Chain A
Amino acid sequence: MSAHHPAAPVGGKLLNTATLVSGLLVAAMLAILFVRFIFGLGAVTNLNDGYPWGIWVVFDVVIGSAFACGGFSVAMLVYIFNRGEYHPLVRPALLASLFGYTLAGVGVIFDLGRWWNFWHIFWPGHANPNSVMFEVALCISAYILVMWIEFSPVFLEKWGLKAEKKKLERVLFFFIALGTLLPMMHQSSLGTLLVVMGPQVNPLWQTPVVPLLYLLSAIAIGYGVVLFETCVASSAYRRQIEMHLLQPMARVMLGVLAVFVVVRFGDMIARGALGHAFAFSLEALFFWLETICFLLPFALAGRAADRRNPARLFLAGVALMLAGVLLRVNGFLIGYDTGVGVDHGWNYFPSIAEMLVTMGMFAIEVLGYIVITRRFPVLPRAEASAAH
């Protein structure tokens, strides 16, 4: 049975350096988006005929949603594997996920060249169930709704709507189950997006097991993000770090990561793709950068003694997040080549404007996290965690 720890608002001022900087970044983003919607994608992005997808897709959606897997990973641990002791981590992780996914969903609109038609994806006459993109879009949209429902007890608690909260909690188990299924579906499908691109994607990242790789890495990244967020929130709010939870959770993370590494290399050996890793190429270099980042958490937090050091847990989380970034950037951009290398040599590097929009999106997340944790009962009550 789950043990429930009370959550409480952190309190304090909403206006500080962090929120001010975030606010400025959001303002810059809005200005750029104004230009984008008036003059088109070409006016602000470096997208071209060889690279139709840039960082608005790869960072804001593919990576952004993987970073937002904390809620899914922790909820799965607590409710599916019945590890109630991790319950205090659920709400903060879910909050970050809620923002990550909602923004990924909104961010897609900025990138859609014919955004006013976006509803076609849900419309029976238009929707194409053979399309991986259709599955991803449908699943992410459903998950955003489910997450708001999962998180709504926080608002109901704050506004004193006890009867409504009780009613919702009676059916919450179903939404938790759905909230575990949906990310499994779309996180794997985000990898499957690569399959139809065929030989345009380097064999280091083009594999029929790509859905499993993306799913396993997303689950592991979910725990990595929780390590990262908990350490940052604790240091920013000058609270004690919940080491008694983070230590065993880091072990779970390493377990999932170990499975990932076995599948990753097993698949490459089985397909005979390992040779590409030893080629003298940019792709091979980035493959090894990615692999090092996936292995770093073992070096940083592999031993029990290491896991008692919060700095090592934090760094292990960061390394894994970076590994997740590289796996996705490598598949979608570094290892991608339009027309299988016979085109006239397209290049892509994001424009300043594109980067500012991506930073603006992350700034909204930071801003939202600060406002909600300071005003709503999300983080574990400070004195409760001090008592442990």
Chain B
Amino acid sequence: MRFNGFTYLISEGFSNVFKNKKGTVISLITMICAMFMFGAAFAIGQNVNHVMEQVQASQGIEVFILDDATDEQTNTLEAEIKKIDGVSTVTYKSKEQALESAKEAFKEYPDAIAGYTEEYIFPASFIVMLTDLSKAEGVESTIATLENVKNIRSSNDTMNTLLKISNGIRIAIIVVFAGLLVIAMTIISNTIKLTVHARRKEISIMKYVGATNSFIRGPFLVEGIIIGFVAACITIALVTIAYDYVVAGIEASDILQTMNITLLHYSEILKMVSVVYVILGIGIGMFGSAFSMKKYLEV
């Protein structure tokens, strides 16, 4: 008996989808448009995070060690720096390495460091990488208080600017995200309202024959879920095509290559995007039809 009800629900839901072609197409298109914009905002957000992580990872603080520090003092300093909150890695750069990297940096202008290549005049240092760019200032001031530190070189301004940009972009994306969600819900709920309105006669007949509200709502929910699911699948396909195309275009640009920054490959966000879409599609379809039906169930 229950099974019969279930089959009725599913088959009726499916036949509604095809019976009401115009409504289905309108719902599908609005959902796909909204979810596509949604996906664009999501993809941009994920990439901004990804890029920021890469930029942050490349931002280190260089701590120069006093020339007369003993090996033991150097080791102590390293241990102390590692203890500071916000420090991810500490790499020792010896005088030899400092010279090598100087040579490497000036290899096209050997004359510039001509006189400096015989002795190790570049001080040894620690390259300190941070877990979080926002902790840079705290880490720096703590290091400054330690012994055997000659001086510190950091790119404070760059860090602050990056931090501001990334926070700004994140907030903008959240706002866009919320706005799109509201717009999508409104459009879809209105579309489904039209569908339900077109079938108000059928609904009122069902009420008079003694159908429960959940029985009446069932096929409409199934219909909403089917439309939502199909819309999600189509959007995933569209976003896949668009994403690869756009990312290929951006990655080809010089700036990113110079900065050695990569964008996320689609496969890295596909799983997330798909899950979000399917939940979103089904959710919007389901709640959209549930909300828009409310009025017509009060017979």
> Does A pair with B?
no
Report B's interface with A, CB cutoff 8 A.
none
Report A's interface with B, CB cutoff 8 A.
none
